[in-house]
Amino acid sequence: MNDPLRQELLEIFAGRATRRYGLSDINQLQHALQSAALAEADGAPPATVLASLLHDVGHMIHDLGEDPASRGVDDVHEELGAQWLAERFGPAVSEPVRLHVTAKRYLCTVESDYFGKLAPDSVRSLELQGGLMSPDEVEAFRANPYHAEAVRLRRYDEEAKDPRARTPDFDHYLRHVPACRK
């Protein structure tokens, strides 16, 4: 795949995804690759694999610097990323990305043990992102046609923080781009 979108993705991830991912011992690129590898190993459809790879692109395209949450700022990376992705891909890629933070709030609300699985920086950002959901918010989230894939992506996201994990390279996952383009 040799096209402008591929180049754009490579530039973003090669140029900006080498920063540390939150408080973990991995960087954004490793986190993205692990998320996609988990989705692929789970048999997720190509759009979910691609959404898992690109779910944090919003962190890389904003100009708020590193770790704005530590300064009390919600970078709304899910919205920025979803908007960026929606210009390039269909909703099966962009909508789970838009909802992956909401999925964290949802899982913390409906699963008693989920909060304990969050990394410290994810706990800190949870409050900035709205905290636990109200019953009406839970109902509205469940009514969204992409909620199940967002929850699926969120689970990969939470697990993708292993500094020893081995994954295929970025190009391996870009093979899903043609099937998911707008």
Residue-wise pLDDT for 136-155, tens only, equals 999 999 999 999 999 999 99
Q: Report H helices in 55-112.
A: 57-61, 77-86, 91-110
Percent of the chain with pLDDT over 70: 86
Residue 91 · residue 146 · CB < 8 Å: yes
From its phi and psi, is residue 143 left (phi > 0), alpha (psi between -120 and 50) or beta? alpha
Residue 80 · residue 62 · CB < 8 Å: yes
The total of other beta-carbon atoms located within 10 Å of residue 83's CB is 15
CA distances 16 to 50, 57, 109, 152, Å, are 18, 9, 33, 25
Instruction: Determine the pLDDT at residue 75.
Output: 65
- Mention every residue, 6+ apart, whose C-beta is less than 8 A from residue 4: none
Residue-wise pLDDT for 48-78, tens only, equals 999 999 998 988 776 655 665 555 555 668 8
Q: Which residue has the higher pLDDT, 178 or 2?
A: 178
User: Residues in the chain, how many?
Assistant: 182
Instruction: Determine the pLDDT at residue 76.
Output: 66
CA distances 150 to 27, 37, 49, 96, 171, Å, are 22, 16, 12, 4, 23
In a domain, 69, yes or no: no
Residue-wise pLDDT for 93-106, tens only, equals 999 999 999 999 99
Task: Give me the CATH number covering residue 168.
Answer: 1.10.3210.10
In a domain, 113, yes or no: yes
Residue 156 · residue 42 · CB < 8 Å: yes
In a domain, 101, yes or no: yes
Instruction: Determine the pLDDT at residue 164.
Output: 94
pLDDT tops 60 at residue 89: yes
Give dist(CA 41, CA 36) in Å, integer. Answer: 9
In a domain, 68, yes or no: no
pLDDT tops 90 at residue 43: yes
Q: How many domains does the chain have?
A: 1
Average pLDDT over residues 79-101: 95
| Domain boundaries, position 159 | 4-63+75-180
Instruction: Determine the pLDDT at residue 45.
Output: 97
Provide φ and ψ at 20, rounded to 5°: -60, 145
